[in-house]
């Protein structure tokens, strides 16, 4: 029986939002068996093919931005959904001409950070910056531009979002993490969280809970997992003691 052709069937790799052309373009492969003139010829064809597929500066910028997003997501151990959402956000920022006068690296990092925030994934600005190719100023400028012009639904970060990961890194028992969660609520009720680094608040609450339970952990270690200084941690710790 003859198989009917379905026009919607498509061979090849699946469509993906993290490719500038959604994975529709073909690529000229590499072969280690080609030598000399033939190898140079195919290398030239690959370059010409790539240039033909990336026909404008905007597309080249998008290719680079998407590649940087994929690298950042891999370095931070984030799920594929973050990659795809960050690429879509980068695309929106580019369509709104927000990249003019700013760096692609900054926007790639800012897109990843913004998606982490909107999805409640506990990655600090410092953690994203540590693996980004742009510096803090570039990341912040890009994030502020997207937040202002695209209206990111991010809101304030909840210190509780950091507790499970920090407790795991510090090897703290579940009852200490549970007590730290209660301390965050106490800090919120006493208006101790407003204006403070939520990552630092989480670390301070974990340290306070561990200290009360005689679980050995130093202020320096607790501060290090949150990427804050011990001075920042002690500020919230003393407020909780009061």
> Do 106 and 81 contact (CB within 8 A), yes or no?
no
Residue 148 CB: number of other CB atoms within 10 A?
Answer: 10
Angle formed at CA 135 by CA 55 and CA 22, multiple of 5 degrees: 30
Are 138 and 105 spatial neighbours (Cβ–Cβ below 8 Å)? yes
- Cα separation, 60 vs 19, in Å, equals 12
- Beta strands (DSSP E) in 55-205 are none
* Domain boundaries along the sequence of the chain: 57-150, 159-241
- In this model, does residue 178 exceed pLDDT 90? yes
| pLDDT at res. 148 | 85
Q: Which two tokens stand for residue 141?
A: 């400028």
The pLDDT score that the predictor gives to residue 35 is: 59
Compute the average pLDDT of residues 77-82: 90
Q: Is the dihedral of CA 62, 65, 71, 75 positive or negative?
A: negative
pLDDT digits (tens, 9 = 90+) for 128-147: 999 999 888 899 899 888 88
pLDDT of residue 147: 85
The DSSP result for 154-196, as a single string, is --PPPGGGGHHHHHHHTT--HHHHHHHHHHHHHHHHTT-STTS
Mean pLDDT over all residues of the chain?
Answer: 81
Helix axes 104-118, 80-95, angle to 10 degrees: 130
Report how far residue 71's alpha carbon sits from residue 87's, in angstroms, rounded to the nearest whole number: 12
Report the C-alpha gap between 67 and 202 in whole angstroms.
33
66 touches 119 (CB < 8 A): no
Band of residue 191 on the pLDDT scale cut at 50, 70, 90: confident
What predicted TM-score, i.e. pTM, was given to this entire model? 0.56
In CATH, the number for domain 159-241 is 1.10.472.10
Are both 57-150 and 159-241 of the same fold? yes
CATH homologous superfamily of domain 57-150? Cyclin-like (1.10.472.10)
**Given the structure tokens 């998008």, which residue do they identify?**
62
User: What is the C-alpha to C-alpha distance for residues 188 and 160, in angstroms, rounded to an integer?
Assistant: 11
**pLDDT recorded at residue 110:** 93
């Amino acid at each position: 029986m003859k198989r009917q052709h379905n026009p919607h069937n498509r061979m090849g790799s699946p469509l993906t939002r993290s490719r500038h052309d959604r994975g529709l373009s073909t690529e000229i492969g590499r072969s280690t068996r080609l030598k000399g003139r033939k190898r140079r010829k195919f290398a030239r064809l690959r370059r010409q093919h790539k240039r033909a597929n990336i026909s404008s500066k905007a597309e080249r910028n998008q290719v680079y931005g998407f590649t940087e997003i994929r690298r950042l997501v891999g370095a931070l151990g984030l799920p594929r959904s973050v990659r795809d959402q960050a690429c879509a956000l980068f695309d929106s920022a580019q369509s709104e001409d927000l990249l003019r006068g700013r760096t692609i690296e900054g926007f790639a990092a800012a897109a990843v950070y913004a998606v982490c925030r909107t999805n409640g994934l506990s990655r600090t600005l410092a953690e994203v910056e540590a693996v980004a190719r742009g510096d803090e100023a570039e990341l912040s400028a890009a994030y502020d531009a997207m937040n202002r012009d695209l209206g990111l639904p991010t809101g304030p970060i909840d210190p509780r979002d950091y507790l499970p990961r920090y407790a795991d890194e510090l090897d703290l028992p579940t009852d200490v993490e549970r007590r730290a969660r209660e301390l965050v609520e106490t800090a919120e009720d006493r208006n101790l969280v407003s204006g403070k680094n939520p990552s630092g608040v989480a670390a301070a609450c974990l340290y306070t809970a561990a200290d009360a339970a005689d679980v050995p952990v130093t202020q320096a270690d607790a501060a290090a997992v949150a990427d804050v200084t011990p001075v920042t941690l002690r500020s919230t710790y003393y407020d909780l003691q009061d």
